[in-house]
Amino acid sequence: MLPRACQLTLLAGALAVRSAGAETRELTFERDVRPILKAHCTHCHGEEEKPKGGVDLRLRRFMDRKLESGGHVLVPGRPDESEMVLLIREGEMPKKGKKVSPEELAVIERWIAQGAKAMKPEPESLAPGMFITDGDREFWSFQPVARPAVPEAGKNPRVRTPIDAFVLAKLRGQQLDLSPDADRRTLIRRVTLDLTGLLPTPPEVEAFVADPAPDAYEKVVDRLLASSAYGERWARHWLDVAGYADSNGVTEVDSPRLHAWRYRDYVIRAFNADKPWNEFIIEQLAGDELAGATHDDAPQAIADPHKRDLLVATAFLRLGPDGTDDGAPDPKLARNQAITEEMRIVSSSLLGLTVACAQCHDHRYDPIPQSDYYRLRAIFDPAYNWEKWRPPAQRLYSLYTPEERAQADEIERQARAIEAEARAMTKTFLEEVFQKEIVKLPEEEREPYRAARATVAKERTPGQKALIRKYPAALADKSLDLYDKDAQKKVTAKTAEAAKLRATKPAEAMIMALTEVKGVVPESRVFNRGDHDQPKQRVEPGELTVLAPSEMAELKPEPLTSGSTGRRLAYARWLTSGKHPLVARVLVNRFWLHHFGRGIVSTAGDFGTLGEPPTHPELLDWLASEFMSGGWKLKPLHRLMVTSTAYRQSSRNEPSVTVDPENKLYARFMLQRLDAEALRDAMLAAAGTLNRTAFGVPVEIARDRSGRIVVGREELNTNRDVVKVISLGQDDFRRSVYVKVRRKQPLTVLDAFDAPMMQPNCEARNRTTVAPQSLLLMNDTFILDTARALATRLRQETAGDARGQIVRAWRILFSQEAREEDVSRSLVYLAEQTEAIRTYYLGTKPAKDAPPSDPQLESLASLCQVFLSSNRFLYVE
């Protein structure tokens, strides 16, 4: 007998086939044909300012217009006389892009044969561009968030929260049911790793196991939510979406972003304080406007700690890759690319739509016309202002005191004088070079050449230009190093004096922020094909048309007294007004994803037509509504989710694994591999080396001699090759969230386990299971060092008792009591391995810098390594 779920599948399939059946159902323009034309045709035929060949395919009505050739786009009832069909058949259309498939063509033909009908009356005319239909607006994620009734669950004791009622309602009638609750040891390990990214300590486990109180679990959850580790863990999820990095990316230089970490700290503090998400979003989008600050008065505003925080929050809008400080070859392009990346971050993090696709043309799948992209961008234009662009270095605000400022200014003045001197030297040297070069020319050409060189490039006669072209090397007006290395060295030495002097300035703390310049409001225009050199019609700031209710059709910002336009503040307030269809859904879906291992919408960054529909639409809406009505606070939502039966159930449920491998029905808790940071942090914590110092300047990273990126500082030789990596002491063991994030140099141990490359951000991490991860766990110095530290800890805590050490390790790493067979297997292993290592040392001298050999410790370390590499450790059950 087939599983129940499968029967349903067959039933639904049969239904679907019948409803699509050729003869039984009448095809309509809106439902059947328009989507095909939209994907293949209307880009040229309707959405451009002038439709190609005068053919506009956006409305059925327009297809009755006669063609210039005299033919007909379509003749109802006669597909073979309809030009549309003939041109597609012959492969003449579409001219560009993907061909119409035979199945799609068959639909068009059948529709015409049936009379080419539309369902509803159509407007007489349409403005040029994309036409958003009622059908588009009816898409599920554009509907207002509803508050669905919680399904009736009777007195089912498994229903601990409304979440369970929704999950059970969906499971009802399936052959699947919720699994029994996970045991307490499993549960505390799961929830501790989930909420804090760290392992529960053995005493925490024992206390929970022994706690007879009915709310024992709830107390654990509250303790975890109150711990500082919670913010460090959950901030990381938001930092992924926000695209946080400590470098600028884009170019080879990948220049450091020295002050981004204050934003990271702001986020961690916001999570720990359970800052309501409406405030959190408003601050990140418009903290400067809240603080009443513009570019000109931001330096004063940051004297106030609260306003300073608000400004730090706006770094969210400066997190994308930005090459404009690093000599990108086309500066205008680089600026617009930087803005594009920011728009991508804003739209994917908050709207969950691939809005960026509409930068160059109307979105092919979602109802987002290109003009909407630029309306959305216009909200941010006064702050970015690409034509009066401020590169990253000019968007920093100093925390200097006036005295420090004066001192620094004086040093700067002196340094500039030195640089001026260096420039004068260059000029003199080049002149000397020229005197040598000129004599290489034939006598009669020297004087004319001198004259040509002395003339400003623009004013040179054709003859002079030709002469210079003939002897390009003699010009010697730049590139001194290529002519005279020694002279260049002197100049370089001079310039170095300035750098040395500058290094004596008092250390300057800065914040990175986004602001507008008072009174400067650039015009926003649509860029034809996304090209900033082809500006088209003007646009006013506004929300995407399909998301905006009539009263939000235009964003009407109240001008702020500070001189800022108020556009971002108005937009942020709309996003968090409770009426926005996407923001709360997108957010709660991500929270759910991190707890349960898959989103209710599994495409967390795409709630559009190419995304997956929600598995539990009513639950998603209920959670979104609950989140907003609870004041946008996350901690209560966490509590709701992790105290649900859906979360507390066991991960072991074979029918569920077999029938529903992706766990779309939640008949079990989904087994999840530790993510990169949790893996590293949990290992360090288990070894007892984790340094819980919070906040501040990121921990340095270095490339070691075998090419690995590790924590530490590089010692370089004169060739700039790494000689060795110098330990940072205790800082080697900080939590991963505090380790520097270089876009081009991810920490090897994190990179191997799918920590994202921020290009520009990460909507959902990949989960790979590949051999290099295994090689790393088998042989990498990080794991070897950590295993040795754990072995040392065990030996200190349970000296001379191998059995005790094994039992202890099992408790630390797995929160479990070791079974006798595990212990005895381990003991046999230890005995054999100690002997093998002892034998090894008999025949080998240890390396000079190696610690003295200790076969017993090394064998215990090798056992710890097995534990750390095992699935029991790497997965959360």
Which of residues 501 and 657 has its CB atom nearest to another protein in the complex?
657
Nearest CB to another protein, comparing residues 416 and 440: 440
Q: Cβ of residue 398: shortest distance to another protein, in angstroms?
A: 32
Question: Of 390 and 744, which has the nearer Cβ to another protein?
Answer: 744
How far, in Å, CA of 313 to CA of 560, rounded?
A: 19
CB of 772 to another protein, least distance (A): 7
Tokens 């590139």 found at:
479
Residues sharing a CB contact under 8 Å with residue 93, sequence separation 6 or more, in sequence order? 41, 84, 87, 100
Cα angle for residues 536, 540, 546 (degrees, 5° grid) = 100
Nearest to another protein of 510, 827 (CB atom): 827
Tokens of 565: 């336009």
Lay out the site mask for another protein across 638-677 (x = CB under 8 A, - = otherwise): -------------xx-x--xxxxxx-xx-----x-x----
Say which residues have a Cβ less than 8 Å from residue 877's Cβ, sequence separation at least 6. 182, 186, 189, 190, 650, 651, 652, 669, 671
Residue for token pair 């034509």: 387
Among 218, 401, 836, 851, binds another protein (CB under 8 A): 836
Would you give the distance in Å from CA 684 to the centre of its chain? 26
Q: Which is nearer to another protein, 134 or 558 (CB)?
A: 134
* Residue numbers 446-485 binding another protein by CB under 8 A: 469-473, 475-476, 478-479, 482-483
- For the record, the structure tokens of 276 come out as 């309501």
Q: Is 11 helix (H, G, I), strand (E, B) or coil?
A: helix
Q: Which residues, listed in sequence order, are joined to residue 538 by a DSSP beta bridge?
A: 525
Radius of gyration of the chain (CA): 33
228 vs 869, beta carbon nearer another protein? 869
> How near is the Cβ of 127 to another protein at its closest, in Å?
24
**Closer residue to another protein (CB): 138 or 459:** 138
Q: How many residues bind another protein (CB under 8 A)?
A: 130
Binding-site string for another protein from residue 107 to residue 136, where x marks contact by CB under 8 A and - marks none: xx--------------------------x-
Stretch that binds another protein, among 276-284, 528-536, 627-635, 840-848 (CB under 8 A): 840-848
Q: Nearest approach, Cβ of 823 to another protein (angstroms)?
A: 12
Query: What residues between 333 and 352 interact with another protein by CB under 8 A?
Result: 344
* Residue 797 CA to its chain's centroid (Å): 42
**Residue whose CB is less far from another protein, 501 or 671:** 671
Residue number with CB closer to another protein (519 or 851): 851
Q: Which 794-823 positions form the footprint of another protein (CB under 8 A)? A: 822
- From CA 514, how far away is CA 298, in angstroms rounded? 10
In terms of CB distance, is 573 or 652 closer to another protein? 652
Residue 672 Cβ, how far from another protein at the closest point, in Å? 9
Which of 55, 133, 220 is CA-nearest to residue 647?
220
* Of residues 223 and 532, the one with the C-beta less far from another protein: 532
Least CB distance to another protein at residue 725 (A): 15
- The correct pick among 339, 764, 789, 806 for binding another protein (CB under 8 A) is 764
Indicate which single residue of 357, 619, 628, 813 sits in contact with another protein (rule: CB under 8 A). Answer: 357
For the bound state, the minimum distance from the C-beta of residue 616 to another protein, rounded and expressed in Å, comes to 9
Least distance in Å: CB of 80 to another protein?
19
Residue 736 in the binding site for another protein (CB under 8 A): no
Dihedral sign for Cα 38, 39, 44, 49, please. Answer: positive
Beta carbons of 569 and 289 less than 8 angstroms apart:
yes
* Residues in 844-863 at the binding interface with another protein, rule: CB under 8 A: 844, 853, 858, 862-863
Picking from 782, 832, 826, the residue whose alpha carbon sits closest to that of residue 808 is 826
Site for another protein in 604-623 (CB under 8 A): 606, 608-613, 615, 617
Burial 709-738 (b: 16+ CB within 10 A, else e): bbbbebeeeeeeeeeebeebeebbbbbbbb
Give the whole-angstrom CA distance, residue 651 versus residue 597.
12
- Give the DSSP H or E segment for 627: helix 617-629
Quick one: which of 190, 273, 260 has its CA closest to 228? 273
Q: Residues 326, 248: contact at Cβ < 8 Å?
A: yes
- At its nearest, how many Å lie between another protein and the CB of residue 682? 16
CB neighbour class for 541 (10 Å; exposed up to 12, middle 13-18, buried from 19) = buried
Q: How far is the CB of 611 from another protein (least distance, A)?
A: 7
Q: Which of residues 682-711 bind another protein (CB under 8 A)?
A: 706-708
Q: Does 442 bind another protein (CB under 8 A)?
A: no
Alpha helices in 706-843 (DSSP H): 748-752, 771-779, 781-797, 802-814, 820-843
Q: Which residue, 408 or 674, is less far from another protein as judged by CB?
A: 674
Angle value at C-alpha 674, between 663 and 611, nearest 5 degrees: 45
Residues 228-257 that bind another protein (CB under 8 A): 250-252
**Binding pattern for the stretch 577-606 against another protein, x by CB under 8 A and - elsewhere:** ---------------------xx--xx--x
| Segment 174 to 193, residues that bind another protein, using CB under 8 A | none
Interface residue with another protein, options 5, 113, 150, 153 (CB under 8 A): 5
At residue 20, what is the residue type? A
Binding mask 134-173 for another protein (x = CB under 8 A): -x--xxx-----------------------------x---
Closest distance to another protein from the beta carbon of 323 (Å) = 9
All residues at 6 or more sequence positions from 489 whose CB lies less than 8 Å from its CB, including other chains: none
Question: Going residue by residue from 71 to 110, which x/- string records binding to another protein, judged by CB under 8 A?
Answer: ---------------------------x--x-xx-xxx--
Residues 15-44 close enough to bind another protein by CB under 8 A: 15-17, 19-20, 31-33, 35-36, 38-40
Q: Could you count the other beta carbons within 10 Å of the beta carbon of residue 667? A: 23
Minimum separation from the CB atom of position 98 to another protein (A): 7
DSSP string, 563-609: S---HHHHHHHHHTSS--SSHHHHHHHHHHHHHHSS-SSS-TT--ST
- Residue nearer to another protein on the CB measure, 279 or 445: 445
CB of 60 to another protein, least distance (A): 16
With tokens 């088209």, the residue in question is: 536
Residue 512 bridge partners (DSSP):
396
The minimum distance between CB 858 and another protein, in angstroms, equals 6
Is 360 an interacting residue with respect to another protein (CB under 8 A)? no
User: Which one among 114, 528, 689, 759 touches another protein, defined by CB under 8 A?
Assistant: 759
Q: Which is nearer to another protein, 138 or 551 (CB)?
A: 138
* Torsion sign, CA atoms 126, 127, 128, 134: negative
CB contact burial 356-391 (16+ within 10 A = b; e otherwise): bbbbebbbbebbbbbbbbbbbbbbbbbbbbbeebbb
**Residue 256, φ and ψ in degrees, nearest 5:** -65, 145
- What's the sign of the alpha-carbon dihedral 37, 40, 45, 48? positive
Report 766-795 residues binding another protein (CB under 8 A): 766-776, 778-780, 784
8-state DSSP, 388: G
CB of 646 to another protein, least distance (A): 16
Q: Which three-class secondary structure state does DSSP give residue 526?
A: strand
Our CB check for another protein shows the closer of 193 and 221 to be 193
